[in-house]
Amino acid sequence: MNVASRRRRCRISSLLLAFPASFVLVFTGCGGAVGGVETNELPLKEDFSECGGFTMNDEVATIDCPAGELRVLVEQPDVSPTHFVPFRADANQQTLAVSAEARAQKAGGGAWGIGCIASEPDEGGRGYLLLVSDEGAAALLRFDVESQEGDRYAQRFTPLSQQENAIRETRTRHTLQFRCAKEDAGTVHVRAGIDGGRALTADDTPGMGPFTGAVLLVLAQQPDTDIRFDKLTVDGQVLDNFFERSQPVVARGPIELQTHGSEIRFRNIFIREIPEAEAKKTLSQAPAK
Protein backbone atom coordinates (compact mmCIF):
# COMPACT_ATOMS: atom_id res chain seq x y z
CA MET A 1 0.00 0.00 0.00
CA ASN A 2 1.42 3.34 -1.01
CA VAL A 3 0.50 6.46 0.90
CA ALA A 4 1.63 10.04 0.61
CA SER A 5 4.59 10.82 2.82
CA ARG A 6 5.08 14.46 3.67
CA ARG A 7 8.11 16.01 5.30
CA ARG A 8 7.51 19.31 7.06
CA ARG A 9 10.45 21.48 8.03
CA CYS A 10 9.99 24.78 9.83
CA ARG A 11 11.98 27.43 11.64
CA ILE A 12 12.29 27.35 15.41
CA SER A 13 11.21 30.43 17.35
CA SER A 14 11.99 29.07 20.81
CA LEU A 15 13.19 25.77 22.19
CA LEU A 16 12.99 24.58 25.77
CA LEU A 17 14.49 21.10 25.98
CA ALA A 18 15.39 19.42 29.23
CA PHE A 19 14.05 16.10 28.15
CA PRO A 20 14.59 13.67 30.82
CA ALA A 21 12.71 15.97 33.29
CA SER A 22 10.20 17.63 30.99
CA PHE A 23 9.80 18.40 27.35
CA VAL A 24 8.01 21.37 25.80
CA LEU A 25 8.77 22.58 22.30
CA VAL A 26 7.11 25.62 20.79
CA PHE A 27 7.97 26.57 17.24
CA THR A 28 6.75 28.75 14.46
CA GLY A 29 5.75 26.51 11.61
CA CYS A 30 4.49 26.58 8.09
CA GLY A 31 1.12 25.87 6.59
CA GLY A 32 0.24 24.67 3.11
CA ALA A 33 3.23 24.57 0.78
CA VAL A 34 5.16 27.25 2.68
CA GLY A 35 8.44 26.32 4.32
CA GLY A 36 9.73 23.56 2.09
CA VAL A 37 6.92 21.01 2.40
CA GLU A 38 7.45 18.22 -0.12
CA THR A 39 5.21 15.31 -1.10
CA ASN A 40 6.34 11.91 -2.37
CA GLU A 41 5.26 8.30 -2.24
CA LEU A 42 6.72 5.84 0.25
CA PRO A 43 5.66 2.25 0.85
CA LEU A 44 3.96 1.58 4.16
CA LYS A 45 5.11 -1.98 4.77
CA GLU A 46 7.16 -4.25 6.98
CA ASP A 47 10.46 -2.81 5.75
CA PHE A 48 11.83 -0.14 3.43
CA SER A 49 13.91 -2.44 1.24
CA GLU A 50 12.00 -1.49 -1.93
CA CYS A 51 12.34 2.29 -1.59
CA GLY A 52 16.08 2.43 -2.23
CA GLY A 53 15.60 4.92 -5.07
CA PHE A 54 13.55 7.30 -2.93
CA THR A 55 15.10 10.54 -1.69
CA MET A 56 14.06 14.00 -0.53
CA ASN A 57 16.90 16.34 0.21
CA ASP A 58 17.90 19.98 0.43
CA GLU A 59 20.48 21.97 2.37
CA VAL A 60 18.71 21.21 5.65
CA ALA A 61 17.98 17.46 5.67
CA THR A 62 17.85 14.28 3.61
CA ILE A 63 15.27 11.52 3.85
CA ASP A 64 16.12 8.38 1.89
CA CYS A 65 16.31 4.59 2.13
CA PRO A 66 19.88 3.27 2.17
CA ALA A 67 20.41 -0.37 3.13
CA GLY A 68 16.71 -1.07 3.56
CA GLU A 69 16.10 1.53 6.28
CA LEU A 70 14.36 4.90 6.24
CA ARG A 71 17.05 7.44 7.14
CA VAL A 72 16.42 10.98 8.39
CA LEU A 73 19.72 12.87 8.15
CA VAL A 74 19.54 16.44 9.49
CA GLU A 75 22.47 18.55 8.36
CA GLN A 76 21.39 22.00 9.58
CA PRO A 77 19.37 21.74 12.81
CA ASP A 78 19.87 25.46 13.43
CA VAL A 79 17.63 26.09 10.41
CA SER A 80 15.09 23.36 11.18
CA PRO A 81 15.56 20.76 13.92
CA THR A 82 12.04 19.28 13.69
CA HIS A 83 11.22 16.81 10.92
CA PHE A 84 7.94 14.90 10.49
CA VAL A 85 7.49 11.97 8.11
CA PRO A 86 3.74 11.17 8.09
CA PHE A 87 2.07 8.13 6.52
CA ARG A 88 -1.64 8.46 5.80
CA ALA A 89 -4.07 5.66 6.61
CA ASP A 90 -6.69 4.64 4.06
CA ALA A 91 -9.50 5.72 6.40
CA ASN A 92 -9.73 7.59 9.68
CA GLN A 93 -9.59 5.33 12.74
CA GLN A 94 -10.84 5.67 16.31
CA THR A 95 -8.05 3.26 17.30
CA LEU A 96 -4.64 3.10 15.64
CA ALA A 97 -1.64 0.94 16.55
CA VAL A 98 1.81 1.79 15.17
CA SER A 99 5.11 -0.05 15.51
CA ALA A 100 8.58 0.48 14.09
CA GLU A 101 12.20 -0.37 14.69
CA ALA A 102 14.52 2.59 15.28
CA ARG A 103 18.15 3.26 16.05
CA ALA A 104 20.31 6.35 16.34
CA GLN A 105 23.28 6.15 13.99
CA LYS A 106 24.19 9.59 15.31
CA ALA A 107 21.91 11.59 17.58
CA GLY A 108 24.04 14.12 19.46
CA GLY A 109 21.50 15.04 22.12
CA GLY A 110 18.48 14.79 19.82
CA ALA A 111 15.36 12.67 20.07
CA TRP A 112 13.13 10.58 17.84
CA GLY A 113 9.91 8.65 17.97
CA ILE A 114 6.71 7.32 16.44
CA GLY A 115 3.08 8.22 16.91
CA CYS A 116 -0.48 8.71 15.70
CA ILE A 117 -1.59 11.83 13.86
CA ALA A 118 -5.07 13.32 13.94
CA SER A 119 -4.41 16.17 11.49
CA GLU A 120 -5.45 16.33 7.87
CA PRO A 121 -2.95 17.09 5.06
CA ASP A 122 -1.87 20.75 4.81
CA GLU A 123 -2.76 21.64 8.40
CA GLY A 124 -0.55 21.94 11.44
CA GLY A 125 0.35 18.63 13.01
CA ARG A 126 -1.83 17.22 15.81
CA GLY A 127 -1.48 13.89 17.55
CA TYR A 128 0.42 11.80 20.09
CA LEU A 129 4.01 10.57 20.26
CA LEU A 130 6.36 8.15 21.95
CA LEU A 131 9.59 10.14 22.06
CA VAL A 132 13.03 8.72 22.93
CA SER A 133 16.01 10.90 23.80
CA ASP A 134 19.62 10.18 22.86
CA GLU A 135 20.21 9.22 26.50
CA GLY A 136 17.51 6.53 26.29
CA ALA A 137 14.75 8.31 28.22
CA ALA A 138 11.23 7.80 26.85
CA ALA A 139 7.95 9.66 27.39
CA LEU A 140 4.50 10.14 25.89
CA LEU A 141 3.66 13.53 24.43
CA ARG A 142 0.76 15.38 22.86
CA PHE A 143 1.48 17.76 20.00
CA ASP A 144 -0.97 20.26 18.56
CA VAL A 145 -1.29 23.74 17.09
CA GLU A 146 -1.27 26.40 19.79
CA SER A 147 -2.07 29.36 17.53
CA GLN A 148 -2.09 30.26 13.86
CA GLU A 149 -1.75 33.52 11.96
CA GLY A 150 -2.01 33.26 8.19
CA ASP A 151 0.24 30.49 6.97
CA ARG A 152 2.35 30.45 10.12
CA TYR A 153 1.48 28.64 13.33
CA ALA A 154 2.92 27.98 16.77
CA GLN A 155 2.96 24.32 17.72
CA ARG A 156 3.37 22.91 21.21
CA PHE A 157 4.66 19.54 22.43
CA THR A 158 3.63 18.76 26.02
CA PRO A 159 4.30 15.63 28.11
CA LEU A 160 1.51 13.25 29.09
CA SER A 161 3.67 10.91 31.18
CA GLN A 162 6.75 10.87 33.35
CA GLN A 163 9.93 9.86 31.57
CA GLU A 164 11.21 6.29 31.80
CA ASN A 165 14.80 5.17 31.33
CA ALA A 166 13.87 2.67 28.64
CA ILE A 167 16.98 2.19 26.46
CA ARG A 168 20.61 1.68 27.44
CA GLU A 169 22.16 1.56 23.98
CA THR A 170 20.42 3.82 21.47
CA ARG A 171 22.62 2.84 18.54
CA THR A 172 21.25 -0.69 18.38
CA ARG A 173 17.82 -1.47 16.95
CA HIS A 174 14.84 -1.11 19.27
CA THR A 175 11.20 -1.93 18.65
CA LEU A 176 8.84 0.94 19.45
CA GLN A 177 5.14 0.20 19.87
CA PHE A 178 2.42 2.83 20.15
CA ARG A 179 -1.37 2.76 20.37
CA CYS A 180 -4.01 5.52 20.43
CA ALA A 181 -7.65 4.70 21.23
CA LYS A 182 -10.42 7.29 21.43
CA GLU A 183 -13.58 6.61 23.41
CA ASP A 184 -17.01 7.89 22.38
CA ALA A 185 -16.89 10.21 25.41
CA GLY A 186 -13.78 11.87 23.98
CA THR A 187 -10.97 10.52 26.14
CA VAL A 188 -7.93 9.16 24.30
CA HIS A 189 -5.99 6.30 25.89
CA VAL A 190 -2.33 6.28 24.86
CA ARG A 191 -0.10 3.25 25.44
CA ALA A 192 3.47 2.62 24.32
CA GLY A 193 6.38 0.31 24.93
CA ILE A 194 9.96 -0.35 23.88
CA ASP A 195 11.32 -3.85 23.27
CA GLY A 196 8.36 -5.39 25.10
CA GLY A 197 9.33 -3.72 28.40
CA ARG A 198 7.26 -1.77 30.88
CA ALA A 199 4.38 0.06 29.21
CA LEU A 200 3.96 3.82 29.32
CA THR A 201 0.30 4.84 29.59
CA ALA A 202 -1.61 8.11 29.67
CA ASP A 203 -5.13 9.47 29.20
CA ASP A 204 -5.94 12.74 27.44
CA THR A 205 -9.32 14.47 27.96
CA PRO A 206 -10.62 15.95 25.76
CA GLY A 207 -8.53 13.96 23.33
CA MET A 208 -7.84 14.36 19.64
CA GLY A 209 -9.05 12.00 16.94
CA PRO A 210 -10.08 10.20 14.87
CA PHE A 211 -6.61 9.29 13.67
CA THR A 212 -5.49 9.81 10.09
CA GLY A 213 -2.20 7.92 10.08
CA ALA A 214 1.21 7.30 11.59
CA VAL A 215 4.18 9.63 11.95
CA LEU A 216 7.93 9.33 12.42
CA LEU A 217 9.58 12.31 14.12
CA VAL A 218 13.19 13.43 14.50
CA LEU A 219 14.33 16.35 16.69
CA ALA A 220 17.93 17.26 15.90
CA GLN A 221 20.29 19.17 18.17
CA GLN A 222 23.59 18.80 16.29
CA PRO A 223 24.53 18.70 12.58
CA ASP A 224 24.47 15.35 10.79
CA THR A 225 21.93 13.82 13.19
CA ASP A 226 21.20 10.41 11.63
CA ILE A 227 18.15 8.38 12.74
CA ARG A 228 17.15 5.11 11.03
CA PHE A 229 13.69 3.51 10.98
CA ASP A 230 12.61 0.06 9.80
CA LYS A 231 9.67 -2.36 9.90
CA LEU A 232 6.98 0.31 10.12
CA THR A 233 3.50 -1.20 10.48
CA VAL A 234 0.10 0.38 11.06
CA ASP A 235 -2.78 -1.68 12.42
CA GLY A 236 -6.45 -0.88 11.93
CA GLN A 237 -6.30 -0.55 8.16
CA VAL A 238 -9.44 -1.31 6.18
CA LEU A 239 -8.87 -4.50 4.17
CA ASP A 240 -9.65 -4.52 0.47
CA ASN A 241 -9.71 -7.17 -2.25
CA PHE A 242 -6.24 -6.86 -3.76
CA PHE A 243 -7.19 -8.72 -6.96
CA GLU A 244 -10.58 -7.00 -7.53
CA ARG A 245 -10.69 -3.76 -5.58
CA SER A 246 -14.29 -3.09 -6.69
CA GLN A 247 -15.36 -6.26 -4.86
CA PRO A 248 -15.46 -6.90 -1.09
CA VAL A 249 -12.95 -9.13 0.66
CA VAL A 250 -13.89 -12.78 0.16
CA ALA A 251 -15.55 -14.35 3.20
CA ARG A 252 -13.72 -17.68 2.97
CA GLY A 253 -10.70 -19.04 1.13
CA PRO A 254 -7.11 -20.21 1.46
CA ILE A 255 -4.48 -18.21 3.30
CA GLU A 256 -1.56 -17.63 0.94
CA LEU A 257 2.04 -16.65 1.62
CA GLN A 258 3.62 -14.59 -1.15
CA THR A 259 7.18 -14.34 -2.44
CA HIS A 260 8.67 -12.43 -5.37
CA GLY A 261 11.07 -15.08 -6.66
CA SER A 262 13.92 -14.95 -4.17
CA GLU A 263 14.51 -17.59 -1.51
CA ILE A 264 12.30 -17.02 1.50
CA ARG A 265 11.42 -18.97 4.64
CA PHE A 266 8.45 -18.57 6.98
CA ARG A 267 8.20 -19.46 10.65
CA ASN A 268 6.17 -18.63 13.77
CA ILE A 269 2.94 -18.05 11.83
CA PHE A 270 -0.18 -17.87 14.00
CA ILE A 271 -3.81 -17.76 12.87
CA ARG A 272 -6.67 -16.54 15.07
CA GLU A 273 -10.31 -16.75 14.02
CA ILE A 274 -12.16 -13.49 14.65
CA PRO A 275 -15.55 -14.25 16.27
CA GLU A 276 -18.61 -12.78 14.59
CA ALA A 277 -19.44 -10.55 17.58
CA GLU A 278 -15.92 -9.08 17.64
CA ALA A 279 -15.97 -8.47 13.88
CA LYS A 280 -19.35 -6.70 14.02
CA LYS A 281 -18.25 -4.53 16.94
CA THR A 282 -15.07 -3.50 15.10
CA LEU A 283 -16.96 -2.74 11.90
CA SER A 284 -19.59 -0.69 13.76
CA GLN A 285 -16.86 1.57 15.15
CA ALA A 286 -15.14 2.11 11.80
CA PRO A 287 -15.90 5.34 9.89
CA ALA A 288 -17.99 5.02 6.75
CA LYS A 289 -16.02 5.03 3.48
Go through the domains of the chain in sequence order and give each one's CATH number. Answer: 2-234 (2.60.120.560)
pLDDT at 236: 62
Reported confidence tier of residue 182, pLDDT bands at 50, 70, 90: very high
- Give the Cα separation of 208 and 210 in Å (integer): 7
- Give the Cα separation of 18 and 15 in Å (integer): 10
Threshold 0.75, pTM exceeds: no
pLDDT at 160: 92
The secondary structure element, H or E, covering residue 192 is strand 188-194
Helix, strand, coil percent values for the chain (each to nearest 5): 5, 50, 45
pLDDT at 245: 61
pLDDT tens digit string along 25-60? Answer: 444 343 322 223 334 445 455 578 777 777 888 788
Reported confidence tier of residue 227, pLDDT bands at 50, 70, 90: very high
In this structure, the number of other CB atoms found within 10 A of the CB of residue 21 comes to: 10
pLDDT tens digit string along 97-135? Answer: 999 999 999 988 889 999 999 988 777 789 999 999 988
**Residue 14 corresponds to which amino acid?**
S
